[in-house]
Amino acid sequence: MPAAALSPEVLAKYEPVIGLEVHVQLLTASKAFCGCANHFGSEPNTNVCPVCLGLPGALPVLNAKAVEFATLASLALNCRVNERSIFARKNYFYPDLPKGYQISQFDKPLAEHGYIDVPTADGSMKRIGITRLHMEEDAGKSLHDGFRDSATRTYLDLNRCGTPLAEIVSEPDIRTPDEAYEYLTRMKEILLYTEVSDCNMEEGSLRCDANVSVRLKGAPRFGTKAEVKNVNSFRFVRAALEYEIERQIEVIEAGGRVMQESRLWNANEGRTYSMRSKEQAHDYRYFPEPDLPPLIVSEAFRAEALKKLPELPEARRARMIAEYELSRQDAFTLTAERAFADRFEEAARTARNPRRVANVLLSEVGGRLKALGLEQEQSPVSMAGIVLAADLLDEGKISSRQMKQLFDVCFEKGEDFAAVYEREKPEQISDASTIEPLIDTLIAANPKQVEQYRAGKKTVAGFFVGQVMKATKGQANPALLNDLVTKKLEG
C-alpha cells in the first residue's frame, strides 16, 4: 500500500520499466468486416448484422479503408509495413463478444519496428520503439450503470462489435510516468494529424493498457510486470504508473515478489487493484482466421498511402521554428491542431511578413485568450483580422500600442479586428514638425542615453521611440518616428 512510506533514497535505488499498449479505433464509415455503420452514439444494438454478431455461416469481408488507415498510421509511426500479414482468431469468452473470438493479428502483424521521438525534460529527444501495429476488431460494450435494475443486471450494446482497431505496442523503452505521458501525447497528435482516428478517449476511441515493472538500477534483467487496465486519460495513465511503481517497490522492499497480473485503475481512489478476470487465464488459443486470406499490402498500395501522409507534427514544428522564428514552446502552440496550423500558415503566406503574423497571433490574440481562459475557436478575432493587424503594423499605419488598444476593443466587444479598425481608425501623427520638438526635448533631457547611443549601443534608440510614443499616446507614425529618432541621434 504506497502511502508516503518510501524515502527518496529507497525510490532512487530502482528503475521503472514501462511499455504501453494502445488501442485506437479507426475512423472508417463502416466496420472492419461487414457493412454496418461504424458510428458512436447510435441507438444500442442497431448497427449490427449476422457478421459482427458472429451468427453461424456469416463470413467476414475485409474493409479496404481500414487497411488504408492502419497502413497510414503504421507509416506515420515509422513502422515497416509487412507485405503479407495474417489474421488470427483470439478466443475468449465474454458477454460482450458474441462470436467468442476477436479477429486480430498474432505472429504476422501488419507492421513492425517503428518508433516515436519524444521530447524529454532536458530538451533532448528520446526514441521510444514501437514493436508492432496490428489490426483487430473491437468487442461490444457492457453497460453496468444507468438502468433501473443495474444493481442486478448488466446490459449489452453490440454496436461496437467489429469496429476496426489498430493496436500499437511499444517496446519496454519508457522509464518514467512523464515519458509515458509524453509518448501518448505525441502518438495521439500523430494519429490526429494522419486523420485515421478521432482519438476521443471519453468515447473510447483511444484506450491504453500500461505495463510496468521495477528493477534495481543496473540490474541486467527486467522485473516482473503488472498490466494496468481501464485507464481512460493520459493523466490517469501517469497517475496509475506513479502509484504502481511505488506499490511494486514497496512489495520488493518488504521482501516480497511482484506478481505478474492485470490490475485495474480506480480513478476515484487513485489506486490500482488486482483483478480477477478473462486476463487471468492468458490462453487465447490463437489460430489463423480460416475465413480470411492473408492480407497483402502491395508496394503500390503502400506508395499511395505514403502520398496521403501529411507533414507530421515534429517535422512541422522544426520547419515552422525556422520559417517563423518561433520558440519551441510557440511551435507547439501553433501545431497542436493540424487544422489550426493549416489556417495559420495559409493566412501567414498572404501577409507582408509571415513572422509578424505568428507574433501577433501568439502574443496579442493568444495572450488574451489565455488570460480569459478561452479556446482558439472562441476567439473574436479571425485569422484574416490577425493578418490585417500584422500588415498595418508592418506598414507603419498603426503603432504597436494602437494595435494593442484595438485588440482590447475586439475582446471587450467580441468583434473582429477589421470592424474595430474601420470604426476607430486610430489617429496618426504623421507630420515631422509635431514629433521633432518632442524628440529634441528628450535628447536634451537624457544626455547619458545619447552618449550610449553614440558609443555604439544602437538599441538605445528604442528608449526614445518609446518615450515619444508614450507622450503621443501611441499616435506617432512609427516609421516616421523611427527615422526621426535615428536621424537626430546620429546628428
Residue among 188 and 343 whose Cβ is closer to ligand ADP: 188
Residue among 49 and 267 whose Cβ is closer to Zn ion: 49
CA distance 66 to 27: 8
Residue among 17 and 347 whose Cβ is closer to ligand ADP: 17
Q: Which of 308, 317, 322 is nearest to 336 (CA)?
A: 317
Q: Are 425 and 418 in contact (CB under 8 A)?
A: no
Rounded least distance, CB 343 to Zn ion, Å: 38
End-to-end CA distance of the chain: 77
Quick one: what does residue 287 bind among Zn ion, ligand ADP, none, with the CB cut-off 5 to 8 Å set by partner type?
none
Quick one: what does residue 428 bind among ligand ADP, Zn ion, none, with the CB cut-off 5 to 8 Å set by partner type?
none
Q: Are 79 and 187 in contact (CB under 8 A)?
A: no
- Name the grid cell of 345: 500558415
CA distance 419 to 263: 58
Task: Provide the phi-psi class of 117: left if phi over 0, else alpha when psi is between -120 and 50, else beta.
Answer: beta
Taking CB under 5 A as the criterion, the residue among 17, 52, 169, 245 binding Zn ion is 52
Quick one: what does residue 49 bind among Zn ion, ligand ADP, none, with the CB cut-off 5 to 8 Å set by partner type?
Zn ion
For residue 470, give the 3-state DSSP assignment.
helix
383 binds Zn ion (CB under 5 A): no
Residue 53 parent element (H or E) = helix 50-53
Residue among 38 and 82 whose Cβ is closer to Zn ion: 38
Q: Are 387 and 427 in contact (CB under 8 A)?
A: no
List residues binding ligand ADP (CB under 6 A). 17-21, 169-172, 211-213, 222, 225
Residue among 172 and 310 whose Cβ is closer to ligand ADP: 172
CB atoms within 10 A of CB 318: 12
For residue 92, give the 3-state DSSP assignment.
coil
Residue among 34 and 381 whose Cβ is closer to Zn ion: 34
Residue among 48 and 237 whose Cβ is closer to Zn ion: 48
Angle of the 461-471 helix axis to the 432-445 helix axis, nearest 10: 120
DSSP string, 362-412: IIIIIHHHHHHT--GGG-SS-HHHHHHHHHHHHTTSS-HHHHHHHHHHHHH
Residue among 211 and 399 whose Cβ is closer to ligand ADP: 211
Size of the residue set binding Zn ion (CB under 5 A): 5
CB atoms within 10 A of CB 33: 23
Quick one: what does residue 52 bind among ligand ADP, Zn ion, none, with the CB cut-off 5 to 8 Å set by partner type?
Zn ion
Q: Which residue's beta carbon is nearest to the bound ligand ADP?
A: 19
Taking CB under 5 A as the criterion, the residue among 10, 11, 49, 418 binding Zn ion is 49
Rounded least distance, CB 188 to Zn ion, Å: 28
Rounded least distance, CB 31 to Zn ion, Å: 5
Rounded least distance, CB 23 to ligand ADP, Å: 12
34 binds Zn ion (CB under 5 A): yes
- Residue corresponding to grid cell 528520446: 126
Rounded least distance, CB 255 to ligand ADP, Å: 20
Rounded least distance, CB 221 to ligand ADP, Å: 8
Residue among 222 and 287 whose Cβ is closer to ligand ADP: 222
Rounded least distance, CB 267 to ligand ADP, Å: 22
Stretch that binds Zn ion, among 46-54, 227-235, 295-303, 459-467 (CB under 5 A): 46-54
DSSP string, 107-168: SS-SEEEEEEEEE-TTS-EEEEEEEEEEEEE---EEE-SSSTTTTT--EEE-TTTT-EEEEE
Q: Which of 184, 46, 160, 50 is nearest to 96 (CA)?
A: 160
> Hey, what amino acid is at 250?
E
Residue among 21 and 337 whose Cβ is closer to ligand ADP: 21
Quick one: what does residue 273 bind among Zn ion, ligand ADP, none, with the CB cut-off 5 to 8 Å set by partner type?
none
Rounded least distance, CB 58 to Zn ion, Å: 9
CA distance 400 to 10: 55
Rounded least distance, CB 161 to Zn ion, Å: 7
Rounded least distance, CB 169 to ligand ADP, Å: 5
Stretch that binds Zn ion, among 16-24, 41-49, 106-114, 133-141 (CB under 5 A): 41-49
Q: Which residues form the interface with Zn ion (CB under 5 A)?
A: 34, 36, 49, 51-52
